Amino acid sequence: MHSFQYGTTTINYSVAYKKDKKDVSLSVCLNDGVQLVAPEGLNHEKLQDILHKKAPWILKKKYELEEISAVPAPKEYVSGEKFAYLGRNYRLKVHKMDNMKSPTLTFKQGRFIAEIPLTMTENEKTSKLQQLFKEWYIAHGNTKIVDRLHLYTSKMGLVPKKVVFREQQKRWGTCTKEGAVYLNWRIMMAPMSIIDYVLVHELAHLKYPNHSTEYWRFVRSILQDYEGRKEWLRINGPTLFL
């Protein structure tokens, strides 16, 4: 690990040298910090000069990352544990049952109810209930999105080929060239206002396949406060996981 001084601030960084690299690449990540990839043979003074010029940008990115909520510990799927749905938390109640082959998950009277075979191991329980929660979020997401889709397609004058919830590791939504919209099923843990933002964001790409000024102007015409919703997702997105 290396470091350089910018005013009164010490900034740590790591650097990797590559033989075929022609310029310096710089990234700031939540887990890995400041990282550089530089051409092999680049002298230390030149590297320091680049870092000082980029220091304001580096500090801005570090500040933004520090605002992001910490990723919560993985769920244990035990009674009393809370699970988010549409921005609210609901407790889970686990019942161990005799003469039961497969676990079930339902939502009754403001809480999740899981019934699992008495002989099921902890690892099996975690794996099965995680899958059941995912299926539950997708099923309820498909129901909820119908009304929201009708609302926004009429406002925006845009109709996607289809809207599908699926597994997406890094994106909250995707719009394909063919006109299909894919939504990350985890977004169903967020408040409805945030789900609306992700839906509008992707629908807008049917008209503008980029993030141009015109694109954001169009999004604002539908959601005047989209920036606040976007910021909520940036900060709280890491908490929307099982």
Euclidean distance between CA atoms 199 and 188, whole angstroms: 12
Q: In the β-sheet with 173-175, what is the strand arrangement from edge to edge?
A: 162-166, 180-184, 173-175
- CA-CA-CA-CA torsion sign (221, 227, 228, 233): positive
pLDDT in tens, 83-98: 999 999 999 999 999 8
For residues 115 and 213, membership in a common domain is answered with yes
Number of domains forming the structure of the chain? 2
Instruction: Report the CATH number that the domain containing residue 177 is assigned in CATH.
Output: 3.30.2010.10
Which domain range does residue 182 map to? 82-239
pTM: 0.76
Q: Judge if 53 and 122 occupy the same domain.
A: no
69 pLDDT above the threshold of 70:
no
Q: Fill in the DSSP letter of residue 142.
A: H
Q: What is the mean pLDDT of the chain?
A: 90
Residue 70 has pLDDT above 80, yes or no: no
Cα separation, 64 vs 30, in Å, equals: 10
